Chains A and B, each alone.
Chain A
């Protein structure tokens, strides 16, 4: 169990309540739960890393418990009640240095400080579809949902949102445009936020400017967008819809860069690798798919038997990674990787040289005496 969980580089939560780990190196998938105690109300709604070293996975279940899974030990170490299941499923889960942030569908956002029992509660409004944390400023979170516009909260000042989006102008029939924020992401190193909606729009908000309306709006397809992920190269975003269409959109001009093919069912979870040009998607078709963002080809496809709700990637390289668990080891690992690369490069040049020799030498031999050539042939 221990080695299994350490090999895994992709974590997935399923509708049947199973936490799944996938190791792409070994091409294996593992279930981390007891098959005897399965139940639908343990459905995994959200997944997040419990600490920056990525040794803990926090699993938000539909019945309101947040379980802590240790990737080192390969077992669930902790479980706590964080929400009432009457208030709906989890829509977001995040950690700051000393607190756990949970958000449920009813809009109740709670900050659970470590060591103290009292919680900070924020009411983000009903019908929340997603809560996301700003990775660079970890006390800031964004919420949004059905008829619930995008709001950015500073958890140190929980009374009022620091940014509330304004709905776009009425359409050409002068009708109000409905709001339905399905997913959002903070663009690192800037205050900008990108959202996707159930009415197939992707919007870019910039809280720095006085304008509260989106600074960019893109439409993709004609089905509700369900998930969104920022690519490692910051000017593009990957969105997925209910029919399993994945597209890479350019955030500078709002153009479709290309579509990622191969999905059969609606997308539920989408995540890009923080450094590599890879995107992992999962959804109702029970497959985990890893696409390359460079050539938009399908790299890996794993059948995981249950409908999948969410996906979590480790920051190490997926192919070799998994063994590295703490930051130090990771660095070492990276160095080793680069060394390996060097070795490979060196090998390639050598083989090229030999090939060239093999091709050239007979020609040289033609000009010279034939005996030499024969000798060489014999040598070969």
Chain B
């Protein structure tokens, strides 16, 4: 269907060009001879065009010819459309042929080729964590989160914002506090983060989460693990609050949710994954049937919050509870928040690092 439609378009276009040429002739008036000549030329063109359309599938262009060499814009356009059409036809033909072959072969048909995506063409990252690696295991076993993973501490999170937050950010913080158990939202009151950190430590908080806003929209998040780091800085985008979501479930319950961390494969990714994991209590309460998901895809971390239900032995239903947002890591700093004198473990440097679309860091 598509191919025929384009053909029609082409025809229309041809007619238009003819009209234009006629108009020109009218302007020129009585110079009949010239008009005749031009008419002849146009006629010739008209003759050549359909013929080329007919001939196109067999012999379109000489091999070194490119459409961009045509100097007439209209003609170039026409030829380009033709070229495109041809290619599409060819592709369809091949597809049909392949389908027939597959049908003919039946069960013996070779397995379908996996389409190339940016993810599966990813440039190999040498920091990808191999689970058997003793050294990495030791490094992770003794890092700042080891107290949580050894079940020595329970998470307690303080959520605050940049100074003078607007409605949307306040709502966002409130909703985050319903997702994360034992989270406390505090008004910032113009306090410096470096002075908040020791107070949080003395009151037994394990996380300080600061939502930054710009033009009434939350756009950044600082997630600082206490008492001794690390601190991650994220960009937040696409925040959707609960009331903006379609088909959302009822308000979440106070049960501690299950946590799903997807695709955190590299060493840096592991650190970030552990950072998120340590936000939630150790043992999820399965009665609540709530799941918080951090899904990493192409270095963007998508957060979703769902409630699930087993409808029968095979079917599962899920219902999104919200909020949803996307995070992108800007930097990971060793130690608690100190943007001036802190040592950075990883900083995203756009022009140095983003040289390939297939290179990912998490």
Contacts and interface: CB of A to CB of B under 8 A. Distances in A.
B345 A40 contact: no
Interface string B315-349: 00000000000000000001000001111111101
Chain B interface SS verdict (over half): mixed
Contacts of B310: none
B352 interface: yes
Contacts of A379: none
Contacts of B138: 16, 35, 38
A265 B346 CA distance: 4
Contacts of A303: 126-127
A265 B136 contact: no
B313 interface: no
A181 B27 CA distance: 85
Contacts of A198: 341
Interface in A263-290: 264-266, 284-286
Interface in B132-152: 133-136, 138-139, 142
Contact of B134 (A35, A242, A265, A307): A35
B142 A18 contact: no
A221 interface: no
A305 B347 contact: no
B127 A226 contact: no
B139 A266 contact: no
Given A303-B127, A305-B139, A265 B345 contact: yes
A244 B347 CA distance: 8
Given A35-B135, A38-B138, A306-B139, A243 B344 contact: yes
B139 A284 contact: no
B102 interface: no
Interface residues of B, number: 22
B341 A284 contact: no
Contacts of A39: 142
A264 B346 contact: yes
Contacts of B347: 243-244, 264-265
Contacts of B188: none
A137 to B, nearest CB: 33
B267 interface: yes
Contact of B343 (A31, A40, A262, A266): A266
A265 B135 CA distance: 20
Contacts of A307: 139, 345
Given A224-B341, A265-B346, A285-B345, A31 B352 contact: no
A305 B136 contact: yes
A224 B340 CA distance: 8
A284 B135 contact: no
Interface string A203-240: 00000000000000000000110100000000000000
Contacts of B340: 223-224
Contacts of A224: 340-341
Contacts of A261: 352
B341 A242 contact: yes
Contact of A40 (B133, B142, B267): B142
B347 to A, nearest CB: 5
A35 B141 CA distance: 13
B345 to A, nearest CB: 4
A95 to B, nearest CB: 29
Contact of B127 (A223, A284, A286): A286
A249 to B, nearest CB: 20
A243 B334 CA distance: 11
Nearest to A36: B134
B353 interface: yes
Contacts of A262: 352
B15 to A, nearest CB: 58
A284 B136 contact: no
B135 A242 contact: no
Nearest to A284: B345
Nearest to A198: B341
A266 B345 contact: yes
Contact of A16 (B135, B346, B349): B135
B344 A265 contact: yes
Contacts of B126: 303
A349 B126 CA distance: 40
Contacts of A264: 346-347, 349, 353
A198 B342 CA distance: 11
Interface in A239-268: 242-244, 261-262, 264-266
A203 B267 CA distance: 37
Interface in A282-302: 284-286
A286 B135 contact: no
B153 to A, nearest CB: 18
A305 B135 CA distance: 7
Contact of B267 (A223, A226, A286): A286
A264 B343 CA distance: 11
B344 A266 contact: yes
A296 to B, nearest CB: 13
A305 B271 CA distance: 13
Nearest to B134: A35
Nearest to A223: B340
A40 B142 CA distance: 7
Nearest to B331: A243
Contacts of A226: 343
A262 B344 CA distance: 14
B341 A18 contact: no
B352 A285 contact: no
A18 B344 contact: no
Given A16-B138, A35-B138, A38-B138, A242 B342 contact: yes
30 contacts: A16-B139, A18-B135, A35-B134, A35-B135, A39-B142, A223-B340, A224-B340, A226-B343, A242-B341, A242-B342, A242-B344, A243-B344, A244-B349, A262-B352, A264-B347, A265-B344, A265-B345, A265-B346, A266-B334, A266-B343, A284-B334, A284-B345, A284-B346, A285-B345, A285-B346, A286-B127, A303-B127, A305-B133, A306-B135, A306-B139
Interface of A: 16, 18, 31, 35, 38-40, 198, 223-224, 226, 242-244, 261-262, 264-266, 284-286, 303, 305-307
User: Ordered nearest first, which 9 A-B pairs have the shortest CB separation?
Assistant: A266-B343, A284-B345, A303-B126, A242-B343, A265-B345, A35-B134, A305-B135, A38-B138, A266-B344
Given A226-B343, A242-B341, A303-B127, 4 more contacts: A38-B135, A243-B344, A244-B347, A284-B345
